[in-house]
Amino acid sequence: MRAGAGVESQCRPAAPPSLTVLSLSNPRLAGQWSRMTCLRHSILPTLVFAFSAPAWADEAPDPQGEEQCLPTADVVETLGKFDSLKAKKRDTVGPDLSLTIELKPGEVMPERVELRDDGRVMPVRFNDTHRSIGLTDQLRDVSEAASLCIVDPARSDRTRDNRGYAISIGMGVRFKRTPGTHRLDELEDGMKDARSHYKKMAGVMGFMVPKFDHIAVASDDKQSPPRIWATKAGADIGEPAFELFQGGRMVAIDTLEDMGADGVRIEDGYYRMSPSPDAKTVAKFMGQD
């Protein structure tokens, strides 16, 4: 679930290393949330049957009002499916859902974004790139009756076509820990467990889930993805060969093994890391081959 080239009306291509990669859209979830967002619901990080539709495309361009609320039931249900996996399949990787508000030049953030659930109100926090913080845990703490609300009285008289921002919601399976260093056996365990996550969501389409044999590392800076060093016994032994693909840096596990590495070190700073296939496979399922 992530957003687009035309800020008001069009979704950007999915960005695998952003770890909201590739999607097999859940039609029910898309039908609800996509009315106000460009929705990329990651079910298979290499099979993109991506929901890509203009924001509010099915709505007349009436004034949007002071607030917009949509149900979260299908998102909460989706997280529950991941959480039903055996504990040993959830120790290294897990689902991560984020909401990003992409502002047009000169625009400011809405007054607030919040989850509402039977009288409870939970503010959604954002970082300095307008990406939500901790939304996955918040959604785990609400019932299927909860709603996600954007409160924006300053733009209440604007139409949905000129509201000045786009909303994107992205979900992917990521490594839970991001301490800057990772053991090779941790990466390999994450590859297997991520496949279990996506097969769980794919159901009868599980046979289409490809092999995960790369790590994909990204940050909020799509122009400069974090660098990766191979390590052995805690010391850097060189930068492995990598592929750059849509804002992320992808490294093959085989490459690390050939270097004799027993781990990796990620460049200092915030990053997201996900199991992934190679860039060619990702591009194939995105229709870019």
User: DSSP string spanning 58-74?
Assistant: TS---B--SEEEEE-HH
Looking at residue 45, its pLDDT comes to: 36
Question: Residue 240: its pLDDT value, please?
Answer: 98
Question: Which of 148-157, 183-192, 193-202 comes out lowest in average pLDDT?
Answer: 193-202
Query: What integer pLDDT is reported at residue 280 of this predicted model?
Result: 87
Per the listing, tokens 């200092």 go with: 268
10 vs 276 pLDDT, higher one: 276
Percent of the chain with pLDDT over 90: 51
* Amino acid 198: pLDDT: 81
Q: Which of 72-76, 142-146, 153-157 has the lowest mean pLDDT?
A: 72-76
110 compared with 47, residue with greater pLDDT: 110
Average pLDDT over the chain, rounded to an integer? 78
Q: Confidence class of residue 88 from pLDDT cuts 50, 70 and 90?
A: very high
Within 8 A by CB and 6+ apart from 62, the residues are 159, 160
Is a pLDDT exceeding 60 seen at residue 172?
Answer: yes
Strands 38-41 and 165-175: parallel
Residue that wins the pLDDT comparison between 16 and 281? 281
Task: Provide the CB-side half-sphere exposure for 9 (13 A, CA).
Answer: 8
H runs (alpha helix) in the chain = 27-33, 73-83, 135-140, 184-202, 253-258, 279-285
Q: Alpha-carbon distance 120 to 246, whole Å? A: 38
The two three-digit tokens of residue 147, written as one number: 């709603």
b/e sequence 156-170, b meaning 16+ C-beta within 10 Å: eeeebeebbbbbbbb
Q: Kindly state the average pLDDT of the residues 12-21.
A: 34
Collapse the DSSP code of 11 into the 3-class scheme (helix H, G, I; strand E, B; otherwise coil) and give the result. Answer: coil
Q: Calculate ∠ Cα 86-78-19, nearest 5°.
A: 85
